[in-house]
Structure 1
Amino acid sequence: MAAKPSIPKGTRDFSPVEMAKRNYIFNTIRDVYHLYGFQQIETPAIEMLSTLMGKYGDEGDKLLFKIQNSGDYFSGITDEELLSRNAAKLASKFCEKGLRYDLTVPFARYVVMHRDEITFPFKRYQIQPVWRADRPQKGRYREFYQCDADVVGSDSLLNEVELMQIVDTVFSRFNIRVCIKINNRKILSGIAEIIGESDKIVDITVAIDKLDKIGLDNVNAELKEKGISDEAIAKLQPIILLSGTNAEKLATLKNVLAASEVGLKGVEESEFILNTLETMGLKNEIELDLTLARGLNYYTGAIFEVKALDVQIGSITGGGRYDNLTGVFGMAGVSGVGISFGADRIFDVLNQLDLYPKEAVNGTELLFINFGEKEAAFSMGILSKVRAAGIRAEIFPDAAKMKKQMSYANAKNIPFVAIVGENEMSEGKAMLKNMETGEQNLVSAEELIAAIR
């Protein structure tokens, strides 16, 4: 007996109904991106490992899916290297390529490779899958889609403002209540500076970014483990746990970071973004959150994260400014800022809250019953007019029993059925049945189209 097929953990199949829901998500996000002047690009699923490695920090590098070289990948490897069983070293010899971890680093590579064809500032969006060799759990997958928008070639904070407006617009269209959290890596650098641990900025940000997940005691334990002094950890506590309105937090930070030039620059940038957004009438809450660190090494300015208020799930959107990302590919001085919507988590949130509009998930609107060759030929004529009018319609391909065809309509939640027999053909019409109410009417092609519309 053949083994039952399976798929890798952390991946999923999607049914037609699920795909209709996912396309609703992608199309909503795409429409909003277009409103703000973003253009779509695509990059390969596979990138050179040299493009990906070292861009996400040590933790990110461990989560890269590496692709084994084809051919004789043992050539050039000594017996001593093989027997050493050093997985990382052997992987670097066996693998030259990997699956992309996100869409931002491939985008930076794209900008550098296509710099002569691009008009700056360049506003691009990208909706494609990414892969991470992570431990699968609720809301966390190994294969998932990101829906990114980035602006490169502009230092203006108006880009940050517009990205937050995009976030607000998208979630308002989804009817998902969210809190948009913002912070600034310059503020975090300033904090590291005033507690005397500037060289440990990455360790500090990686640890405090986990506050929501592991709690304050565990964050402090991780900081201590990384060699940060008890005195510095003590100084960090009131800053991490700062409360009040955004304006009150900013005022406190101006005093706390008075001796840090970089920290004050971060406060100034955050103040501009928050004050400008206040005049825009956002529908969702926006909060300055100093525990937000976005543990990726490449962020240098504003950072963002979005949390759903009515569902327990991780971040459903994130992003930030990265002033030096293209520099690692030999193109210095190109500033960028971007956001990424986590389509798979948004899918789960919309499912849990049952927020999909009916018209977004319905497929076929009209099914023609097939009674035989003559009836099918007559139905095909009406079917052409129906489709030309933009109505999603199909004809059952076989002259099967009526019960089977009606069961097919019910299984697919098709709201209308057209029945064409001898009597209907003689009048040049069709019997239109509303599957919800059971009501039937003899109608012309034009009347049928009007009834469904």
Structure 2
Amino acid sequence: MAQIKPSLAKGTRDFSPLEMEKRNYIFDTIKTVFKKYGYQEIQTPSFENLQTLTGKYGDEGDKLIFKILNSGDFIAKISPEKYTTLNANSLTPLIAEKALRYDLTVPFARYVVMHQNDITLPFKRFQIQPVWRADRPQKGRYREFYQCDVDVVGSESLLNEAEFILIYKEALTNLGLRDFTIKLNNRKLLAGIADIIGKPDLLIDMTVAIDKLDKIGLDGVKKELISKGFDDADLAKLDPIISLSGSNSDKLATLKQVLKDSEVGQKGLEEVDMVLTYVSKLEAPALDNVEVDITLARGLNYYTGSIFEVKTNEVAMGSIGGGGRYDDLTGMFGLKGLTGVGISFGADRIYDVLSELNLFPESTTKGTQVLLTNFDQSAEDFALQLLHSFRRKGIASEFYPTTAKLKKQLSYADQKKIPYVVMLGTEEVSSGVLTLKNMTTGEQQKMSKEELLNIF
């Protein structure tokens, strides 16, 4: 058999023990905040039926779904005649019935519908699992990455949106970030803008284009809008709206005048104002991190109300979180009238940010604390008893598994960054005087077993 050079699939990564300690620090910090606000954890499968996922993310999102080929000789089941009339889109359902999940929100909606008789509404859940997107890999963007989602369904209260702002602020602050912006918009405001322009039927095209503002700039957005059916007069109305500046109050006051003739736009303004009011009542300082941003579109078709996006201002990075309200997502699975709202933390991007800013605490890299040497078979029974005593006290400890020269064992401890080594041989066991070596300073101390255990 030919030897194959090992390689990683593009857009994926391995994680070392040290990296896993840091990643788990992020997950645990975020999970603690989720639980504090009354959310409970669930998990869903890594892949779903393709029909469950398609049509939920817009045309551009659907293109990024990883499809799973059917097992067996799936090609044999398609007649040769069909190949002459089929294109890639029409062929896909015939050869792929499953797909890797694109996000955690749609699988959650499916979960709610299937378990509607087992859950208590409002249902507050969080979920920390990987998702997959066939996107072009770049800094901060991977094809396999983790999302940390928190959602509530069965509640129309905008108090939920306000609490999500507080969850973002508390979790990111607990992770050590200080300068970040929680952007807030409402799809009803965008619908109102489409109304006053006279192009309500092009709302999706407008939001998809506006959502690319950071990537392609204002000129690029205008060019795309023109290609979708907007004209120069429409862009003249849209330009001052996209360019809104000032405080949140200033922006809302301007929008109130601009959208005075749009019922849906006025409703969106009321909702944004109510979310900000709730935040001020719950924790007024949190408003310092909130920015009303009318250009925030979140190019997912299922959002119907509030939409969020979070960016750090300390590192050049895309969004590290986002979400919004979806009033009819479960309706796609047959359960009508169940509103929901949720947000997500981009754990992989947060990891990159914390690494660049050197914000991981030293405790996240804390592994084995003490190594017991093994260079005398007769001392093994004593070593195993001591190992048991360490572990009963909750001290992470190891016994070097085979007899070896001391230099090799000390090298092992050094490479694993184990801070202490206990020297164990026939002499130490018979005398009861053990030697503890500090691997950082090189200092050695002699002490009894009891004294040793008390130190740790």
**TM-score, structure 1 as length reference:** 0.97
- CA deviations on 1:351-381 (whole Å, 9 max, x unpaired) are 1111111111221111111122222221211
- Equivalent position SS for 1:21: helix
Task: Give the partner amino acid of 1:234.
Answer: A
Query: Structure 1 284/75 Cα, relative in aligned 2: closer, same or farther at 3 Å?
Result: farther
Shift of the alpha carbon at 1:342? 0.7
Shift of the alpha carbon at 1:446? 4.2
**Aligned with 2:207 (options 205, 208, 211):** 205
Contact 1:46 1:99 in 2 (8 A): yes
Corresponding position of 1:307: 311
**Structure 2: which 5+ residue stretches go unaligned?**
none
Once residues 325 and 195 of structure 1 are traced to their aligned partners in structure 2, the CA distance between those partners, rounded to angstroms, is 27
Contact 2:378 2:426 in 1 (8 A): no
Task: Give the partner amino acid of 1:357.
Answer: P
Corresponding position of 1:254: 256
**Structure 1: which 5+ residue stretches go unaligned?**
none
- Equivalent position SS for 1:347: helix
Shift of the alpha carbon at 1:284? 5.9
Once residues 154 and 402 of structure 1 are traced to their aligned partners in structure 2, the CA distance between those partners, rounded to angstroms, is 64
- CA deviations on 1:395-414 (whole Å, 9 max, x unpaired) are 11111111111111111111
Shift of the alpha carbon at 1:131? 0.6
Shift of the alpha carbon at 1:429? 4.4
- Equivalent position SS for 1:180: strand
Corresponding position of 2:135: 134
Shift of the alpha carbon at 1:278? 2.9
- CA deviations on 1:322-350 (whole Å, 9 max, x unpaired) are 01100000000111010111111111111
- Equivalent position SS for 2:147: strand
- Equivalent position SS for 1:282: helix
Corresponding position of 1:367: 371
- CA deviations on 1:299-327 (whole Å, 9 max, x unpaired) are 00110011011111111111000011000
Contact 1:127 1:145 in 2 (8 A): yes
Corresponding position of 2:16: 15
Q: CA RMSD in A?
A: 1.4
- Equivalent position SS for 1:161: helix
101-110 or 62-71, which moves further after superposition? 62-71
Contact 1:326 1:334 in 2 (8 A): yes
Shift of the alpha carbon at 1:421? 2.3
Corresponding position of 1:28: 29
Query: Structure 1 394/270 Cα, relative in aligned 2: closer, same or farther at 3 Å?
Result: same
Shift of the alpha carbon at 1:77? 2.2
- Equivalent position SS for 1:346: helix
Shift of the alpha carbon at 1:256? 1.0
Task: Give the partner amino acid of 2:43.
Answer: E
- Equivalent position SS for 1:149: strand
Once residues 39 and 446 of structure 1 are traced to their aligned partners in structure 2, the CA distance between those partners, rounded to angstroms, is 43
Q: Structure 2 matches for 1:283-298, cutoff 5 A?
A: 285-298=289-302
Query: Structure 1 447/156 Cα, relative in aligned 2: closer, same or farther at 3 Å?
Result: farther
Shift of the alpha carbon at 1:444? 3.6
Q: Structure 2 matches for 1:350-365, cutoff 5 A?
A: 350-365=354-369
Contact 2:280 2:287 in 1 (8 A): no
357-366 or 278-287, which moves further after superposition? 278-287
Once residues 283 and 154 of structure 1 are traced to their aligned partners in structure 2, the CA distance between those partners, rounded to angstroms, is 23
Contact 2:376 2:426 in 1 (8 A): no
Query: Structure 1 284/407 Cα, relative in aligned 2: closer, same or farther at 3 Å?
Result: farther
**Aligned with 2:194 (options 192, 195, 199):** 192
Corresponding position of 2:440: 436
- CA deviations on 1:418-442 (whole Å, 9 max, x unpaired) are 1122332234343222111222222
- Equivalent position SS for 2:33: helix
Corresponding position of 2:423: 419
Once residues 141 and 257 of structure 2 are traced to their aligned partners in structure 1, the CA distance between those partners, rounded to angstroms, is 39
Once residues 446 and 105 of structure 1 are traced to their aligned partners in structure 2, the CA distance between those partners, rounded to angstroms, is 57
Query: Structure 1 294/406 Cα, relative in aligned 2: closer, same or farther at 3 Å?
Result: same
117-126 or 176-185, which moves further after superposition? 176-185
Task: Give the partner amino acid of 2:258.
Answer: V
Once residues 166 and 26 of structure 1 are traced to their aligned partners in structure 2, the CA distance between those partners, rounded to angstroms, is 14
Shift of the alpha carbon at 1:273? 1.3
Task: Give the partner amino acid of 1:278.
Answer: S
Once residues 320 and 98 of structure 2 are traced to their aligned partners in structure 1, the CA distance between those partners, rounded to angstroms, is 28
Once residues 356 and 453 of structure 2 are traced to their aligned partners in structure 1, the CA distance between those partners, rounded to angstroms, is 35
Corresponding position of 2:279: 277
Corresponding position of 2:46: 45
Shift of the alpha carbon at 1:138? 1.2
Shift of the alpha carbon at 1:275? 2.5
Shift of the alpha carbon at 1:246? 0.7
26-35 or 75-84, which moves further after superposition? 75-84
Once residues 301 and 312 of structure 2 are traced to their aligned partners in structure 1, the CA distance between those partners, rounded to angstroms, is 25
Query: Structure 1 122/429 Cα, relative in aligned 2: closer, same or farther at 3 Å?
Result: farther
